[in-house]
Structure 1
């Protein structure tokens, strides 16, 4: 009888212990969720050109600010930009959004090209621009009067870099494309399959006149080396997202560059998680959070149901990235699937907020 009582007591104790552990586990999960939401965030690469009624509340809910990155696109009429729309956003929500201007090489042969570009940038810096973007027009699209593709290390651009260095304004550089742009597009699971299907003009494989990937990256590296005092944020992991060793090599070689992974998380998920975690740990002060998310059409062209679906998709997209970065859970992204990075709270704080705040001198 005594042995039976002892046994029952032990069983009750064990069940109570398991119940306590389960309760503690639930409490810890809640605590972690609260901590995740309490981390401040800056999406350093955003394109919310068109306003949304939900957008301000969405950013506040995510404890997030955004850098509205202008893009200059030349067409038969002129150069299209998002600058004026971004100015309106910042005037309406000055605590949520920051501005990034842009530079394009159209008209580079004109003797006053550099001076006029500097005058415009000076005005836009005065209006609040904290960064200037250059993108894949350099190297892949824009040509000079001689019919040559303008590379980012073109000497005619140097006065502009000197001006930005003097003003201590950094450059966001989207130079080149993922190496897959120069490869056949035959795998729907390729993270870039959808983009090059929708934007065949950038699928260099079909445009042999476009310089090679190596030519563009070499010119980019030469530009960086020629301007060691210019702070450069290499967008999309410097178009090297397919190989984190290439990213690490450039971070080691060029102390003036930083990187952000906007629209390249699919490439990261397809690589070894432990290796990625090591990259984030080693360069934890030089990797910034960016998404490339934005709005592509006016709100007036959307139905109520479409706007709700758009907001839900945005919520799921930011949440999916958070899961990949902050947990070891399995994550599927752009045809790739892998376990998350489970970054430490210290690294998450730097990645999501502090590195961008320091880079843009927001404090």
Structure 2
């Protein structure tokens, strides 16, 4: 069936729908002639109803739509969202409507930067001009800029695979090779892909007396994808799974419970096949709750792969329906407040155990959204130095200076005023390289010099904002004001690439990291050098140095930022080295298994 015939069919269905008898509150005189859309049965079953006002654990909602741009996300609108989140026990909301370019930056500024840790913004792809030969390169560049600006992931709507077409009328398939560099860019930056393809199975079947979502589709005829030039639902799902298999280093979050909540056996099969695949529950508790035995077994078995999401704007009543479904054993209750009416049935609660609830509500999302940063270093190091041997109460005095040029080798005369301070090796594994730092401060910013003995430069990454901590790296932690559990982290590799990070903490736990968007006066100055060899990946050396200038403008909006004589900041300095594939680490102020234990940081005293 061609596009014209399809549109004609759509128009006919629409006219039939609006031309039918008007719906009224009163039934017809002959009840035997009751119209299907007027039938609203009320259950006579007496069952308990458990009110769950707040979740057992603070929630990370990985699937929400807040809109994008400064005109939509005004301060008052954002504050209303925060009020709902606080009332409903939602710690963090992922906004999937970031877009690209200026709109994306405005969205990040309104949400992520204004309320660190409460919002995380995802980027979108612009499919306009996909026929062009430069489309892929354009979108990869745009996506990289979005990630550097602070976007935490990439979102795809169902229009991808169902609506977007080439000029010749062909649908753009989900596994189109033109998008391969986009999937790889997400892997390169460690950003997940949240992707919605297809729709409920009933949306791909005739709108007749057998369609279980008749009421819903009768009101939204544009949701029907049956026949015509629409693709088959199974074909779109197969395309997605092909992409997941082809890009194992990219993390995919398949929305709406794997986009196939009616067939949990099929979703389980895909989770077994693809370790880089996760699912969220958004807008699908109506499907899950009508198969409570199978769904509960699924949640128990795949408890590490399921995340919480709602697919709405923040609404207290919607959140509470989700909590009731996940936490209680209530029977046969209406869940339409969670999204809208989805099928003419009620649902049953799953009464999940606390350890599973915590993963679904919180820790699975943390692992996907933040875990690539925190994973390796937050694992207790083998043969780590016992805590009772750790240096305590570390203090470092920071002398003032006039601003000066960085050379990368520490030869600037200003450094003569500062004393070397050693870093202490944390692990017995790896080589015991001497490592030390110097610090200075000016009226404009903070200076750091690192001197690290080494035998080989193992760093390979050659771009800012990448996962530098996975290779040789030096890190600076600056907690400028103890009233606020937010600190700044700066990473620099021997190859002179950087990663500036803002780390908000809730409940003394690092809840995320976000590269800063900065330019002009907010941008750092940096330089590195090598001793005994060339400054390049794989080179044999005797050591390397790095100099960094961190402007106070970059630390905004942290408080207590422009230090004066007598000012105190909490801080730490950290080094990772990967010679012979045996990771070794050093710190100044001894922290525990996690280098994010900011309350154990030492103290900088500005003279």
Change in Cα spacing, 1:91 to 1:186, as seen in structure 2 (3 Å) is farther
Structure 2 counterpart of 1:204 = 225
Higher relative contact order (CA 8 A, sep 6+): 1
Alpha-carbon separation, structure 2, partners of 1:325 and 1:136 = 26
Q: 1:106 aligns with which of 106, 128, 133?
A: 128
Task: Say if 2:124 and 2:156, in contact at 8 Å, map to a contact too.
Answer: yes
CA contact (8 A) 2:55 2:323 kept: no
Query: How many equivalent residue pairs?
Result: 306
Query: After TM superposition, what 4+ stretches of structure 1 lie above 3 angstroms from structure 2?
Result: 79-87, 185-193, 196-199
Identify the residue that residue 95 of structure 1 maps to in structure 2. Answer: 117
Structure with the largest fraction of helix = 1
RMSD after superposition: 2.8
Among 306, 313, 337, which residue is 2:346 paired with?
Answer: 337
Structure 1 residue 55 corresponds to structure 2 residue 57: no
| 1:315 has 2:316 as partner | yes
Secondary structure of 2:111's match?
Answer: helix
1:256 aligned onto 2:283:
no
Structure-to-structure mapping, 1:14-163, within 5 angstroms: 37=55, 39-49=57-67, 50=72, 51=77, 53-64=79-90, 65-70=92-97, 84-85=106-107, 87-163=109-185
Q: What TM-score results when the alignment is normalised by the length of structure 2?
A: 0.47
- Alpha-carbon distance, 1:264 to partner: 1.4
SS at match of 1:332: coil
Give the secondary-structure state (helix, strand or coil) at the position aligned to 1:92.
coil
Cα pair distance change 1:102/1:343, threshold 3 Å? same
CA contact (8 A) 2:200 2:259 kept: yes
Q: Distance in 2 between matches of 1:80 and 1:180?
A: 38
Q: Whole-Å Cα distance in 1 between the matches of residues 353 and 214 of structure 2?
A: 29
**Residue 163 of structure 1: how far off its partner (Å):** 1.7
Residue matched to 1:356: 365
Question: Relative to structure 1, is the Cα distance of residues 360 and 191 closer, same or farther in structure 2, using a 3 angstrom cutoff?
Answer: farther
Relative to 1, partners in 2 of residues 1:167 and 1:60: Cα closer, same or farther, differing over 3 Å?
same
- How far did 1:159 drift? 1.4
Once residues 243 and 145 of structure 1 are traced to their aligned partners in structure 2, the CA distance between those partners, rounded to angstroms, is: 35
Answer whether contact 2:256 2:283 (CA < 8 A) is retained. Answer: yes
More strand by share: 2
